[in-house]
Structure 1
Amino acid sequence: MFSKIRLLIMTAFIIGNVHASWKGAQQAIKQSNSSSRLKNLIIELVEGGYYYSALPMMKEYLTKDTKNLSSEVERAFAKMIQVVGIKQFETLPYRYLVRSRSPSIGYIMAKKLFRERKYAKALTNLKRIPSSHPVYAYARNMEATIYALKGMNRQAFEVFEECENIAVEAGNKSLKLNRDYCIAGKARAKFALKDHSQSDLLYLDISKESRIWPEILFEEAWNSFYQKNYNRTLGKLVSYKAPVFQRFFNPEVDVLNALTYLKLCLYADAKQVSDRFYKSYWNDFKKLNRYLNRTGKRFDRYYDLMVNYEQFGKTLSPLMSTLLQGVQGEVAFEVLKRQLLEANNEFERIRAKSNSAFKNFVVKNLEEAVRSQKMIIGSYIRGKLSSYYSQLYNAFEGMSYIKLEVLAQRKAKLYSFDQKDRKRGDIKYIQRNEKQYFWDFNGEFWADELGDYVFGLKSEC
């Protein structure tokens, strides 16, 4: 009974604060000084939970006010960032962002500099973020990534390990995904240092339930390939045939599959993979190229493309459907969609308010934030489609090499591609470590088996 009363009191207190903040914002808009008016509007709206309505005002404030942000605005901004994210602010010029001492702004600047490959400046911004700040763990991840890109893999490994430990010590569920990325970073660092055995063990520390595990499985396959453990590479890759991977698209999976058969001198298998790849994707690949060239950077078109696909399942080709499914499965896309939904929910709250000039003013700001969010989503979709196009382009180049190599070997060895019913496979050709065990494949994919398959093929070289 006491807990119910306490909950009612807390709810009433929150509702009271929201109403007070709405009234406070109504008073703030009447102030004559434009800078003070904007500042107080932001503070009051954020206090009331109207984060997206305050978002365009915060952008305007950052570009107009020449002073460093006050502690009140810094607090409001940090609170806003935790809800609306940082994408909306990444488009602002560096000269406006640099005025703020906010760790959140420092992280935004670091991301901008990272994309521009200005790694030294990015590191300077990252190292200013205190360990008590919510973005600290993500900052350490980015710092370690920069070291890895600069070839400083031992230092990268150490920082990735610190990043992992932060999440473990915090026990924060929201940091779990970041922790998995840091474990993957450690495995990649060991791979770069050619310590493939240790890299194997680190990859196995990532749970199959992790959102990043589908992409990690491909990296594990490459790690096995570099150890010349080709049967395990094929076993890793065959997992992608399971229905659970329907939303995962990586054309390099097929390239590595064909390349592995090539290394085992199983030329018929390599040719079959290559032929199937061309048949599946070549025509749709050309359609994708035409679509990207025709649409350019009209981000609203990409947003509409996804909306039409989600509502009606219509796209220009089967490949496009596969790619859009891949975009839907991305954590970043889910976050952007959730933020758009939150903005729409905020609109419903405001619509319930009494009609007034102030309400109309806030609605216009919120509509601007929603338009920006849709453009950000469209930009993200275009970026992913462009990335998929590049992957496909490189994959076709790789497959062309494999087809030529198979042809050369066919001439050299007079290999028969019509050979039927080859009896192949034996447990004696399988290599394993202390975290890998044997069991029989029963003809079906089971979740706990995915990623653990291994072929037993003998090399025909």
Structure 2
Amino acid sequence: MFKKALITFLILSQAYALESIWTDLTKSKNRISRYPNIIKELIDKEMYHTAVPYVKEYLVTYKGRTNKNFEYLFEQVVSKVGDRQFILLPENYLQNIDSPTLKYLLAKKQLKRRKYKEALQTLNGTIPASHPVKPFALHLEGVAFTMLRSFKAAVGSFENCVDQSTSSSDEVRARQLQINQDYCLAGIARVKYEQKKLDESELAFIDVDKRSYIWPELLIEEAWNSYYKGDYNRTLGKLVTYKAPVLNYIVNPEVNVLKALSYFKLCLYDDMSNIIDDHYKEFDKSKQVIDQMLAKKHSLEWYFKFINSYVDGKKYYDPLTNKLLENVRKDPAFLQLYQSYKDGLREIKTIKTVRNRRLRKILAINLKDSLFLQQKLIGSYVKKVFKLNSAQLEKSFIGLSYLRLEALNARKARLYSGITDTGARGDIKYLKRNSKQYFWSFNGEFWADELGDYVFALRSECQK
């Protein structure tokens, strides 16, 4: 009985606390100036999505420097809802307010539009070192400097990013900081790769923990690094890791292209042909299915329902479609978008406790607007993944067809020269390794601590 009474009291006290919002909304003068109070009331009840329309309206009408109170509230909303809802605001609104969080969002938008110099100007001295978005801003700086080929400055930004992306007691923020730190470590490796410092790049890639969310996507980059070093056996070893059951959700047509290229460089043309044949068998029909879907389905709401049904357990007849959806489901960016949406749905229950009917209706409309946009953001993300994969498959088909012709010419030249294969397949004397790489013997099973460390031991059949 006491427990039931306590729960009732808590619900009623929460409802009465929200009633004060109506007072701020109905005052005739300086209504916008009271929005920070409204936003705070909603945040206190963990109604972040319901607060989004008030934050946006405040941002597009307010000019000048925001007070510390609003900046703190704004950062809280962004950390829970995500930044994509606010990046959609026009640049002129993002420029109106002197806010560190907004400067970060503006720079991110400029970076996506390839305005690298403008992004650096936006970030220059505008975000204090102690501000919560600083680690993420440093990553943006590093990327912008890299694209401008200012490599020394890029490494400096990435190193500062690694140092500042320390842990947090908040679980969501801790995950965001860890992913940010890993991207900055990868940024250092990518800079070394761009500088053609391939040995340093190889060592830098190894610094990213295998347990990282982003580690699977870096394997292909490590493989290219080994390829350009001429270490084709290590390239093939990196790529075979994608066959591990734990990574069977990864879809990247470039993997087979690089495998085929590596076999081509080793003059192992039968192996190369097998890779190409398997690639067409696996992806040719599925690409047609995906292209038909993209041609017929344009609504972002449809793509939201598409992934939402998959998350709820539905599977589709096309295997590539299922793999792509699983790839999306495990992507950190999607996880943040989707979790934010799920959290927003829970705000409905709180709104239902509001006794003022008109206030309840206003809050419900606000929440609906924010969640509807979140659905579209999720749908857009899913649609983009499928469009990108279709384009990558098309590119891979063209590349592999060209490679098949090159191999045919090479085989003709070999036939006329009288060279034959030795038949020898592997020997550890063909292995190369650095100080962070170790020797493993493969017994037909993938082990977590070995992933990414495999290396083939194939002898080149090319004429010396």
Q: TM-score, normalised by structure 2?
A: 0.90
The counterpart of 2:240, out of the listed 231, 238, 244, is 238
Q: Which runs of 4+ in 1 moved over 6 A?
A: 14-17, 169-172
Partner of 1:108: 105
Partner of 1:94: 91
Partner of 1:384: 385
Secondary structure (helix, strand or coil) at the match of 2:92 reads helix
Partner of 1:222: 224
Kindly provide the CA deviation profile for residues 50-98 of structure 1, in whole angstroms up to 9, marking residues without a partner as x: 2211111222232344565454433322222222121111111111121
Secondary structure (helix, strand or coil) at the match of 2:449 reads coil
Secondary structure (helix, strand or coil) at the match of 1:236 reads helix
The counterpart of 1:257, out of the listed 247, 253, 259, is 259
Choose 70-79 or 261-270, whichever is displaced more.
70-79
Secondary structure (helix, strand or coil) at the match of 1:313 reads coil
Q: CA offset at residue 46 of structure 1?
A: 3.0
Partner of 1:307: 308
* Whole-Å separation in 1 of the counterparts to 2:363 and 2:432: 64
Secondary structure (helix, strand or coil) at the match of 2:165 reads helix
Which runs of structure 2 are paired with 1:323-338 in the superposition (5 Å)?
Answer: 323-338=324-339
Partner of 1:77: 74
2:27 maps to amino acid: Q
Partner of 1:291: 293
Matched, 1:459 2:456: no
For the structure 1 residues 167 and 456, does the alpha-carbon distance in structure 2 shift closer, same or farther, using more than 3 Å as the test?
Answer: same
Secondary structure (helix, strand or coil) at the match of 1:216 reads helix
Q: CA offset at residue 109 of structure 1?
A: 0.7
Q: CA offset at residue 271 of structure 1?
A: 0.6
Partner of 1:44: 41
Residues 63 and 97 in structure 2, CA contact (< 8 A), matched pair in contact too: no
* Whole-Å separation in 1 of the counterparts to 2:183 and 2:317: 34
Residues 274 and 402 in structure 1, CA contact (< 8 A), matched pair in contact too: no
Partner of 2:322: 321
Q: CA offset at residue 167 of structure 1?
A: 2.4
For the structure 1 residues 20 and 83, does the alpha-carbon distance in structure 2 shift closer, same or farther, using more than 3 Å as the test?
Answer: farther
Matched, 1:147 2:145: yes
For the structure 1 residues 113 and 17, does the alpha-carbon distance in structure 2 shift closer, same or farther, using more than 3 Å as the test?
Answer: farther
Partner of 1:184: 186
Which runs of structure 2 are paired with 1:22-33 in the superposition (5 Å)?
Answer: 22-33=18-29
Kindly provide the CA deviation profile for residues 298-342 of structure 1, in whole angstroms up to 9, marking residues without a partner as x: 211111111232335343622111111111111000000110111
Secondary structure (helix, strand or coil) at the match of 1:29 reads helix
For the structure 1 residues 66 and 152, does the alpha-carbon distance in structure 2 shift closer, same or farther, using more than 3 Å as the test?
Answer: closer
* Whole-Å separation in 2 of the counterparts to 1:140 and 1:192: 19
Residues 427 and 459 in structure 2, CA contact (< 8 A), matched pair in contact too: yes
1:260 maps to amino acid: S
Identity of counterpart residues, as a percentage? 40
For the structure 1 residues 421 and 300, does the alpha-carbon distance in structure 2 shift closer, same or farther, using more than 3 Å as the test?
Answer: farther
Kindly provide the CA deviation profile for residues 84-122 of structure 1, in whole angstroms up to 9, marking residues without a partner as x: 121111111111121111111111111111111111111
Residues 78 and 102 in structure 1, CA contact (< 8 A), matched pair in contact too: no
For the structure 1 residues 69 and 166, does the alpha-carbon distance in structure 2 shift closer, same or farther, using more than 3 Å as the test?
Answer: closer
Kindly provide the CA deviation profile for residues 417-436 of structure 1, in whole angstroms up to 9, marking residues without a partner as x: xx999441001111111112
Structure 2 residue runs of 5 or longer lacking an equivalent are: 1-6
Matched, 1:117 2:130: no
Kindly provide the CA deviation profile for residues 394-421 of structure 1, in whole angstroms up to 9, marking residues without a partner as x: 2112111111112212222239xxx999
* Whole-Å separation in 2 of the counterparts to 1:180 and 1:37: 40
The counterpart of 1:137, out of the listed 135, 140, 143, is 135
For the structure 1 residues 72 and 451, does the alpha-carbon distance in structure 2 shift closer, same or farther, using more than 3 Å as the test?
Answer: closer
* Whole-Å separation in 2 of the counterparts to 1:18 and 1:353: 8
Partner of 1:365: 366
Q: CA offset at residue 259 of structure 1?
A: 0.4
Residues 11 and 353 in structure 2, CA contact (< 8 A), matched pair in contact too: no
1:112 maps to amino acid: K
Residues 43 and 72 in structure 1, CA contact (< 8 A), matched pair in contact too: no
2:440 maps to amino acid: W
The counterpart of 1:162, out of the listed 160, 163, 167, is 160
1:409 maps to amino acid: A
1:361 maps to amino acid: I
Secondary structure (helix, strand or coil) at the match of 1:459 reads coil
* Whole-Å separation in 2 of the counterparts to 1:264 and 1:443: 23
* Whole-Å separation in 2 of the counterparts to 1:308 and 1:166: 38
Residues 63 and 96 in structure 1, CA contact (< 8 A), matched pair in contact too: yes
Partner of 1:424: 425
* Whole-Å separation in 2 of the counterparts to 1:421 and 1:446: 32
Residues 261 and 403 in structure 2, CA contact (< 8 A), matched pair in contact too: yes
* Whole-Å separation in 2 of the counterparts to 1:16 and 1:402: 70
* Whole-Å separation in 1 of the counterparts to 2:259 and 2:121: 42
Q: CA offset at residue 181 of structure 1?
A: 0.9
Partner of 2:202: 200
1:239 maps to amino acid: T
For the structure 1 residues 20 and 100, does the alpha-carbon distance in structure 2 shift closer, same or farther, using more than 3 Å as the test?
Answer: farther
The count of corresponding residues between Structure 1 and Structure 2 is 447
Residues 42 and 57 in structure 1, CA contact (< 8 A), matched pair in contact too: yes
Q: CA offset at residue 376 of structure 1?
A: 0.8
* Whole-Å separation in 1 of the counterparts to 2:202 and 2:450: 17
* Whole-Å separation in 1 of the counterparts to 2:421 and 2:333: 46
Residues 306 and 324 in structure 1, CA contact (< 8 A), matched pair in contact too: yes
For the structure 1 residues 120 and 383, does the alpha-carbon distance in structure 2 shift closer, same or farther, using more than 3 Å as the test?
Answer: same
1:208 maps to amino acid: K
Residues 426 and 456 in structure 1, CA contact (< 8 A), matched pair in contact too: yes
User: Which structure is higher in RCO with an 8 Å CA cutoff and minimum separation 6?
Assistant: 2
For the structure 1 residues 81 and 222, does the alpha-carbon distance in structure 2 shift closer, same or farther, using more than 3 Å as the test?
Answer: same
Q: TM-score, normalised by structure 1?
A: 0.90
Residues 180 and 210 in structure 1, CA contact (< 8 A), matched pair in contact too: yes
* Whole-Å separation in 2 of the counterparts to 1:443 and 1:36: 66
Structure 1 residue runs of 5 or longer lacking an equivalent are: 1-10
2:184 maps to amino acid: C
2:269 maps to amino acid: Y
Secondary structure (helix, strand or coil) at the match of 1:98 reads helix
Kindly provide the CA deviation profile for residues 150-187 of structure 1, in whole angstroms up to 9, marking residues without a partner as x: 12222212221111122259898442221111111111
For the structure 1 residues 108 and 17, does the alpha-carbon distance in structure 2 shift closer, same or farther, using more than 3 Å as the test?
Answer: farther
1:360 maps to amino acid: K
Q: CA offset at residue 203 of structure 1?
A: 1.1
- Provide the alpha-carbon RMSD of the alignment: 2.6
Residues 69 and 99 in structure 1, CA contact (< 8 A), matched pair in contact too: no
For the structure 1 residues 39 and 159, does the alpha-carbon distance in structure 2 shift closer, same or farther, using more than 3 Å as the test?
Answer: closer
* Whole-Å separation in 2 of the counterparts to 1:106 and 1:316: 45
Residues 285 and 392 in structure 1, CA contact (< 8 A), matched pair in contact too: yes
Q: CA offset at residue 381 of structure 1?
A: 0.9
Partner of 2:3: none
Residues 421 and 461 in structure 2, CA contact (< 8 A), matched pair in contact too: no
